């Protein structure tokens, strides 16, 4: 059972980062032909690409379970250990990570290659120094070469995920842990690349390329990275120290810890390792740290073995040969692997035994289909049984195979869904690589590879979208150099970017975080932007101060706009015509001196606008404070100013009667109409003036209702009392603009003058032109002091009855000038 000796069998042993694999590649390329067996498809593919660059694609082959590239003139073969074509005569053979001969599931494969895989001129076995005693026992005359590690590996203690140094790899032991860790890193540090053994080479390479290129500073992986994958990692952090090995959940052996930790540091650069927890079951023990740092591990004095050339004469003979026990003390019978479990399940079915007659080799080959999708023994055995059923009759049916493959050719879905499809397509790719299972294996091998690559691209995109936030990565990377080092840019639309990654918008003076930013990111984004946008905000402030009148406008609810941006609002001042200017809270980021200059500029604009748009209000405001105006005019001016240029006549009747001819002339010059019912300036009823009146009233604590349309219009319920403020007077269901009320009043008094004391009818044409309904007209006439009289068979007639005198009005404590109206009675 021990392999016969051949010349030049060399074992190159040592810890990680000793250049063992690189040496094997160099030695293989120096021979006329060669073959290397690797533990992972990913690693085989990585080395295949390197050798192709040296020897050319037409001379190099790649053979794995799911992928087979074998040019006609291929002379150098890169394979997974299970797929090594041992029947080929090559000058050089190497086996990488040979210590996996102690693995429960795959150990027998590596042991078989140690015993049987030989190169014509040179054989090289690569692995841990723990292999030394078992290799001496199994391969007599083997030459052992020890290689020291190029760099130092040291323990860096426990660090929280948020405090890990850049270029760290975090190792977890399940897909769920990998995804959870990557999601946490996305929130804390902008994201991470993800590497798992179940990923296709294409996805793995895309993720690693992202890490190697510095697009992300962290990598989250399973223990697959311990199998020779070369990465630019400075620190390896263990998310845990326990794994499920297919049988039980157990603590990692020290050699396994070292294999993973050894990925830190490459060539001459030192590396560190540690855990995420300082205490508890997932923390390193001092003796474990010492063993890893000193590269001292328990020696292997045995490996798992299974008959590598089983008896294919019958099903029972096959099972018996696979169940043989080794007769060498350095070998142990391998635990029952999946393929043997499946074979035993199928052997219990009479139909399978019948079909297996003469087809035992095919049955055993079918049992070797890996359970990529992790279906479990029963579903996987049923699938293998179906495949063998077809193989026993010749080929797998084209339509069944095509339908199953087509079902997987979809790229939509989340990470887990796409990863599940990749696992499934790997099964069909494995089948397509068998040369005699399909009628057209080459076509289907290309087709399944095409689908796997498309799914791999989708998975890479999905992983990147889920676990990488380039904006936060850029911030986290730059923030260490000081906020001043952050390359913050602002485009003409106000978009703020850091390293071309949008972080938000500068809307006027307020920085708004990008809507897709998570809550945990916002504090960092705000802090970054606030410190770096000082100069831009200062520039914008100076632009406001230097703006001309055409750039400033009055907005809704008293907002003051500069180039369309609300920078301030009107507030209660010393009087309605002298409002305060209050800056928007967004301008609090400016220093006090700049804010004061902006307020002064806007206050000047407000004063000029009121004088231009509301000239009567501005004049009345001055008159209400002028001692020479006299009590009567001051009280009228104060009341009209309080109403933004409108006041009811009745409460001011005594003040109006006390006006001198000169004071009346002064009011007429300011175009103030002393109407029958109200005092007003007709210019204030225009849209621009109405907007200012509404804003001033609102600033003064009197929010006006929406203004009715021009002419007579239907009132909203409950609004009648406030309508006069907006230049309308309510009469039942309608409101009439004050200047139109005055037209009706004058027409009525003119008609009364002509008729004397006789009843008269108002001009119907005037009422119709205004849009007055009969009920509205009747109420208006009553307010004007006319009493309707019934005239048989004709329209309503009116006679003068006179208006009631105003009752004394208590002064408004909020407006001292209104108290002047009360002084007129003294």
Supply the CATH number for residue 35's domain: 3.40.50.300
Query: Rounded to an integer, what distance in angstroms lies between the CA atom of residue 249 and that of residue 254?
Result: 16
Q: How far is CA 781 from the centre of its chain?
A: 68
CB hemisphere CA count around 570 (13 angstroms): 34
At residue 126, what are phi and psi to the nearest 5 degrees?
A: -110, 140
pLDDT at residue 474 greater than cutoff 90: no
pLDDT top residue among 23 and 505: 23
CA distances from 787 to 70, 628, 730 (A): 114, 41, 19
Enter the DSSP assignment of 760: B
pLDDT at 235: 93
Does residue 664 sit in the same domain as residue 527? no
CA distances from 760 to 271, 444, 738 (A): 110, 105, 23
In a domain, 333, yes or no: no
pLDDT at 322: 95
pLDDT at residue 452 greater than cutoff 60: yes
Domain end point (choices 146, 175, 199): 146
CA torsion 596→599→601→606, rounded to 10°? -160
pLDDT interval class at 724 (50, 70, 90): low
CB-based contact 333:306 (threshold 8 Å) = yes
CA distances from 675 to 27, 445, 745 (A): 112, 97, 8
pLDDT at residue 213 greater than cutoff 60: yes
pLDDT at residue 16 greater than cutoff 90: no
Q: Which of 62-71, 759-768, 796-805 has the lowest mean pLDDT?
A: 796-805
Query: Rounded to an integer, what distance in angstroms lies between the CA atom of residue 738 and that of residue 712?
Result: 10
Q: Which range is most confident: 262-276, 408-422, 641-655?
A: 408-422
Angle between helices 315-322 and 338-347 (to 10 degrees): 150
CA distances from 769 to 552, 675, 711, 715, 741 (A): 39, 20, 9, 19, 13
Enter the DSSP assignment of 808: P
In a domain, 578, yes or no: yes
Extended beta strands in 673-780, E state: 673-674, 678-680, 713-714, 728-731, 734-737
At residue 729, what are phi and psi to the nearest 5 degrees?
A: -125, 135
Give the SS3 label for residue 766.
helix
In a domain, 661, yes or no: yes
**Buried b or exposed e, range 780-805, using 16+ CB within 10 angstroms:** bbebbbbeeeeeeeeeebbebeebee
In a domain, 446, yes or no: yes
CB-based contact 756:778 (threshold 8 Å) = no
Q: Which of 63-72, 295-304, 635-644 has the lowest mean pLDDT?
A: 635-644
Does residue 105 sit in the same domain as residue 188? no
Phi-psi region of 558 (alpha: psi -120 to 50; beta: other; left: phi over 0): left
pLDDT at residue 478 greater than cutoff 60: no
pLDDT at residue 685 greater than cutoff 90: no
pLDDT at 130: 92
pLDDT at residue 809 greater than cutoff 50: no
pLDDT top residue among 41 and 796: 41
Does residue 718 sit in the same domain as residue 755? no
CB-based contact 594:616 (threshold 8 Å) = no
Q: Which of 191-195, 313-317, 704-708, 717-721 has the lowest mean pLDDT?
A: 717-721
Query: Rounded to an integer, what distance in angstroms lies between the CA atom of residue 230 and that of residue 265?
Result: 10
Does residue 679 sit in the same domain as residue 558? yes
pLDDT at 719: 46
Does residue 59 sit in the same domain as residue 157? no
Query: Rounded to an integer, what distance in angstroms lies between the CA atom of residue 426 and that of residue 448?
Result: 8
CB-based contact 674:650 (threshold 8 Å) = no
Place of tokens 């390792």: 273
In a domain, 310, yes or no: no
Q: Taking the CB of residue 751, how many other CB atoms lie within 10 A of it? A: 15
Query: Rounded to an integer, what distance in angstroms lies between the CA atom of residue 18 and that of residue 698?
Result: 80
Place of tokens 């050719």: 409
pLDDT at residue 427 greater than cutoff 50: yes
pLDDT at 326: 95
Q: Which of 354-368, 448-462, 731-745 has the lowest mean pLDDT?
A: 731-745
Q: Taking the CB of residue 482, how many other CB atoms lie within 10 A of it? A: 9
Does residue 377 sit in the same domain as residue 251? no
Share of the chain above pLDDT 70, in %: 87
pLDDT at 444: 94
In a domain, 825, yes or no: no
CA distances from 670 to 4, 121, 628, 674, 780 (A): 122, 116, 17, 12, 27
Give the SS3 label for residue 404.
helix
Mean pLDDT of the chain: 84
∠ CA 616-619-621, rounded to 5°: 110
pLDDT at residue 636 greater than cutoff 70: yes
Domain end point (choices 722, 748, 776): 722
pLDDT interval class at 402 (50, 70, 90): very high
pLDDT at 275: 94
User: Residue 357 belongs to what domain range?
Assistant: 338-466
Write out the H or E segment, with its range, that includes residue 619: helix 615-623
Place of tokens 């690589």: 433
pLDDT at residue 658 greater than cutoff 70: yes
pLDDT at 187: 76
In a domain, 261, yes or no: yes
Does residue 110 sit in the same domain as residue 71? yes
pLDDT interval class at 704 (50, 70, 90): low
Does residue 87 sit in the same domain as residue 157? no
In a domain, 432, yes or no: yes
Give the SS3 label for residue 71.
coil
Give the SS3 label for residue 84.
coil
pLDDT at 528: 65
pLDDT at 5: 45
Does residue 654 sit in the same domain as residue 528? no
Long-range contacts (CB closer than 8 Å, 24 or more residues apart) made by 822-826: 823/631, 823/635, 824/631, 824/632, 824/635, 824/654, 824/655, 824/658, 825/654
Does residue 101 sit in the same domain as residue 139? yes
Share of the chain above pLDDT 90, in %: 40
pLDDT at 381: 95
pLDDT at residue 671 greater than cutoff 90: no
Q: How many domains does the chain have?
A: 6
Does residue 167 sit in the same domain as residue 135? no
Burial grade of 653 (CB within 10 A; 0-12, 13-18, 19 or more):
middle
pLDDT at 641: 81
pLDDT interval class at 470 (50, 70, 90): low
pLDDT at 786: 86
Q: What is the pLDDT of residues 733-759, one digit of tens each?
A: 778 888 888 888 888 888 888 877 778
Q: Which range is most confident: 121-135, 252-266, 533-547, 627-641?
A: 121-135
CA distances from 491 to 437, 448, 486, 506, 511 (A): 61, 46, 16, 10, 13
pLDDT at residue 600 greater than cutoff 90: yes
Domain end point (choices 114, 131, 146): 146
Does residue 622 sit in the same domain as residue 708? yes
pLDDT at 529: 65
pLDDT at 632: 86
């Amino acid at each position: 059972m021990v392999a016969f000796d051949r010349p030049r069998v060399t074992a190159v042993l040592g810890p990680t980062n000793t250049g063992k694999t690189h040496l094997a590649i160099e030695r293989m390329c120096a021979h006329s032909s060669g073959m290397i067996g690797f533990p992972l498809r990913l690693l085989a593919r990585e080395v295949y690409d390197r050798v192709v660059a040296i020897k050319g694609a037409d001379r190099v082959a790649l053979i794995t379970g799911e992928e087979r590239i074998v040019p006609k003139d291929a002379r150098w073969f890169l394979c997974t250990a299970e797929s090594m074509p041992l029947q080929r005569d090559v000058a050089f053979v190497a086996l990488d990570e040979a210590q996996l001969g102690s693995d429960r599931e795959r150990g027998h494969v590596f042991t078989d290659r140690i015993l049987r895989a030989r190169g014509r001129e040179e054989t090289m076995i690569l692995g841990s120094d723990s292999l030394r005693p078992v290799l001496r026992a199994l391969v007599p005359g083997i030459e052992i070469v020890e290689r020291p590690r190029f760099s130092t590996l040291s323990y860096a203690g426990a660090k929280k995920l948020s405090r890990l140094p850049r270029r760290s790899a975090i190792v977890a032991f399940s897909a769920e842990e990998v995804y959870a860790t990557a999601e946490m890193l996305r929130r804390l540090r902008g994201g991470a690349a993800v590497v798992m053994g179940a990923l296709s080479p294409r996805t793995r390479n895309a993720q690693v390329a992202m890490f190697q290129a510095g697009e992300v500073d962290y990598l989250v992986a399973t223990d697959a990275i311990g199998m020779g994958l070369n990465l630019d990692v400075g620190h390896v952090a263990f998310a845990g120290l326990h794994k499920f090995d297919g049988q039980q959940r157990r603590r990692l052996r020290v050699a396994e810890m070292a294999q993973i930790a050894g990925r830190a540091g490459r060539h001459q650069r030192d590396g560190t390792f540690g855990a995420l927890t300082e205490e508890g079951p997932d923390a390193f023990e001092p003796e474990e740290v010492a063993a890893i740092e000193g590269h001292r591990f328990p020696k292997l004095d045995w490996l798992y073995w299974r008959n590598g050339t089983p008896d294919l004469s019958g099903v029972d003979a096959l099972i018996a040969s696979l169940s043989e026990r080794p007769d060498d003390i350095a070998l142990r019978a391998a635990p029952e692997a999946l393929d043997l479990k499946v074979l035993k399940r199928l052997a219990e079915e009479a139909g399978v035994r019948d079909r297996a007659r003469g087809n035992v080799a095919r049955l055993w080959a079918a049992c070797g289909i890996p359970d990529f999708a992790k279906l479990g023994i029963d579903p996987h055995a049923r699938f293998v049984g179906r495949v063998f059923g077809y193989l026993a009759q010749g080929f797998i049916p084209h339509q069944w195979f095509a339908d199953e493959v087509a079902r997987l050719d979809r790229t939509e879905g989340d990470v887990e869904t796409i990863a599940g499809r990749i696992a499934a397509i790997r099964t069909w790719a494995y089948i397509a690589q068998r040369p005699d299972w399909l009628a057209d294996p080459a076509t289907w091998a290309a087709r399944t590879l095409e689908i796997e690559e498309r799914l791999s691209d989708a998975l890479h995109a999905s992983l990147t979208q889920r676990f990488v936030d380039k904006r936060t990565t850029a911030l986290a990377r730059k923030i260490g150099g000081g906020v001043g080092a952050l390359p913050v840019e602002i485009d003409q639309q106000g978009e703020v970017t850091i390293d071309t990654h949008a972080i938000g918008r500068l809307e006027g003076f307020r920085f708004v975080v990008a809507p897709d930013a998570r809550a945990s990111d916002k504090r960092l984004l705000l802090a970054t932007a606030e410190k770096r946008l000082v100069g831009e905000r200062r520039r914008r402030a100076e632009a406001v101060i230097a703006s001309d009148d055409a750039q400033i406008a009055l907005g809704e609810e008293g907002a003051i706009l500069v180039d369309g941006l609300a920078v301030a609002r009107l507030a209660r001042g010393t009087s309605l015509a002298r409002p305060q200017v209050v800056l928007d809270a967004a301008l609090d980021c400016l220093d006090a001196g700049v804010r004061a200059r902006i307020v002064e500029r806007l206050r000047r604009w407000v004063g000029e606008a009121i004088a231009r748009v509301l000239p009567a209000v501005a004049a009345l405001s001055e008159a209400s404070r002028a001692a020479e105006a006299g009590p009567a005019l001051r009280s009228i001016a104060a009341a009209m100013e309080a109403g933004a240029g409108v006041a009811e006549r009745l409460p001011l009747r005594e003040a109006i009667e006390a006006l001198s001819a000169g004071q009346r002339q002064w009011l007429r010059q300011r175009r103030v109409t002393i109407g029958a019912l109200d005092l007003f300036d007709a210019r204030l009823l225009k849209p621009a003036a109405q907007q200012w009146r509404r804003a001033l009233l609102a600033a003064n604590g009197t929010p006006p209702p929406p203004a009715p349309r021009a002419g007579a219009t239907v009132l909203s319920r409950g609004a009648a009392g406030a309508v006069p403020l907006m230049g309308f007077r309510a009469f039942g269901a309608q409101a009439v603009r004050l200047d139109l009320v005055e037209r009706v009043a004058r027409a009525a008094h003119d008609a009364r003058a002509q008729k004397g004391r006789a009843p008269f009818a108002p001009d119907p044409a005037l009422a119709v032109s205004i849009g007055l309904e009969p009920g509205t007209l009747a109420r208006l006439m009553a307010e004007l002091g006319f009493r309707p009289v019934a005239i048989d068979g004709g329209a309503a007639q009116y006679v003068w009855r006179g208006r009631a005198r105003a009752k004394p009005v208590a002064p408004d404590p909020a407006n001292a000038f209104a108290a002047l109206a009360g002084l007129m009675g003294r």
